[in-house]
Amino acid sequence: MIRFNKYLSEAVKASGGKNVHLEHLEGEILNNGYAGFEKAVQSVRGVRDALAANGPSSHEIPVKWDGAPAIICGTDPSTGKFFVGTKSVFNVTPKLNFTPADIDANHPSPGLNEKLKLALQYLPKLGIKGVLQGDLMFDKSSLLRTKIDGKTVLTFTPNTITYAVDPASALGKRISSAKMGIVFHTAYEGNSLATATAKFNPDLSGLRQTRDVWFDNATLRVADGSGLFSAEERESVEAAIAGLESTAAQLKSVMTAISKNVGVRDAIKMYVNSLVAQGTLTSHADVNDMLAFLGAKAQAKRKTKMTKPTPSMEWIKRNRNQIARVFALHNQLAHLKLVVVKKLASLSGKIGTFIRDGKGYRVASPEGFVAIDRMSNQAVKLVDRLDFSRSNFTVPKTWSKD
């Protein structure tokens, strides 16, 4: 039996020990060069092994929920007082909220202000001893009775995905009676928030149950999870990885150079994101197209005619052939990732997932999954970028950021 931890978060990769951002698996070759490539293929192997009948895996595989906003709460290690906040609790000047007045001062934006006050009112009832991070799934005002495929379901749409549950089920009744819902995915350990480090998959067994708060790390126990990869499929994945390893070895220098050149790295990632928003990936990436895209961006920013390329564009021009090969490797990694994502998406839970478009609600996979290395506690995001990520770029949001 394989244990899957299902949780909500847009951010999982630790920065300074904090859970503030999670990167796509294939993007690791841009972020960390050849070491990032090794991390990516090891994550694919870890997920594959977890879904095969060959014993324990080196990785945990949480399902990523699409909640918002991020809520960090618990007992402040420095003062012993209960607080709530957003990721801004980790700012150089941290924004911790101990009272409603603190929330008014730190987070005046409508929507977020009310949600944090709701969290401050009800989350202390859980008896949180340390510090937890999760994402808000719903409050009472965001629960709706909606007809999908002719059936009335209880829905909530915290960000891009609409979640649906049978209102007559035990889970539906529990959610319906709650004032708010949150899924916790990270705990912080340390003598202060400034020095605390993130630990994934926290143990919530010590939290008190209350009708006012539906909470979970939404752990799923999937009895038939081990066996989703046959021996033949495992060998096929390994053969694909061997081919990528050969290519990556030849691109080691340029990948490392990209990862160390912040301007170039961010320019390439911005271009890749633009392709996703258009409904394509790096299979259609072209260095000339990227240079034109970056030139237009730079010109728009300056609001004047650009007389010469930026240093990043010059570097890209000089290394265009190698960058084209990096695009190909990036694309091949993305396709390999989808092999395991599609296997994981076949494991369904008690809450349906949909995306609303101009034609109504269409069935969607969960936001994605996360591969967490048990030894290093590092994680990468496993998301079908042409499904969820594109929708995330284009579907209007119903909440406001700080």
Query: pLDDT tens digit string along 183-220?
Result: 998 899 999 998 898 887 788 999 999 999 999 875 54
Please tell me the distance from the alpha carbon of residue 205 to that of residue 227, in angstroms, as a whole number: 29
Measuring CA to CA, how many Å separate 47 from each of 7, 236, 383? Answer: 17, 14, 13
Q: Strands (DSSP E) along 9-86, which ranges? A: 14-15, 18-19, 59-60, 63-65, 70-75, 82-85
Measuring CA to CA, how many Å separate 81 from each of 37, 59, 84, 376? Answer: 43, 35, 10, 31
Please tell me the distance from the alpha carbon of residue 388 to that of residue 100, in angstroms, as a whole number: 35
Q: Domain total for the chain? A: 1
**pLDDT recorded at residue 354:** 86
Structure tokens of 285?
């990436």
**pLDDT recorded at residue 264:** 96
User: Residue 35 above 90 pLDDT?
Assistant: yes
Distance, CA of 322 to chain centre: 29
Structure tokens of 259?
């990862």
**pLDDT recorded at residue 12:** 34
Helix H or strand E segment including 8? strand 2-8
Q: Which among 190-199, 321-330, 347-356 has the top mean pLDDT? A: 321-330
Average pLDDT of the chain?
Answer: 85
- DSSP notation for 301-324: HHTS---S--HHHHHHHHTHHHHH
User: Residue 106 above 90 pLDDT?
Assistant: yes
Please tell me the distance from the alpha carbon of residue 241 to that of residue 11, in angstroms, as a whole number: 27
The residue behind tokens 């995306």 is: 355
Residues 264, 270, 274, 276, CA torsion sign: positive
Using omega within 30 degrees of 0 as the cis cutoff, is the peptide bond preceding 69 cis?
Answer: yes
Higher pLDDT pick, 355 / 142: 142
**pLDDT recorded at residue 219:** 54
Angle CA(270)–CA(273)–CA(277) in degrees, nearest 5? 140
Higher pLDDT pick, 54 / 302: 302
Give the pLDDT band (50/70/90) at residue 120: very high
Please tell me the distance from the alpha carbon of residue 368 to that of residue 349, in angstroms, as a whole number: 13
What predicted TM-score, i.e. pTM, was given to this entire model?
Answer: 0.69
Give the pLDDT band (50/70/90) at residue 332: very high
User: Do residues 44 and 29 touch, judged by C-beta distance below 8 A?
Assistant: no
Please give the backbone phi and psi of residue 176, each rounded to the nearest 5 degrees, phi first. -60, -30
Higher pLDDT pick, 387 / 55: 387
Mean pLDDT of 319-330: 96
List the domain range (segments joined by +) for residue 247. 1-402
Strand partners, 52: 229
**pLDDT recorded at residue 241:** 97
**pLDDT recorded at residue 268:** 96
Using omega within 30 degrees of 0 as the cis cutoff, is the peptide bond preceding 56 cis?
Answer: no
Over residues 36-84, the pLDDT tens digits come to 999 999 999 988 888 876 556 677 777 777 889 999 999 999 999 999 9
**pLDDT recorded at residue 399:** 47
User: Residue 392 above 80 pLDDT?
Assistant: no
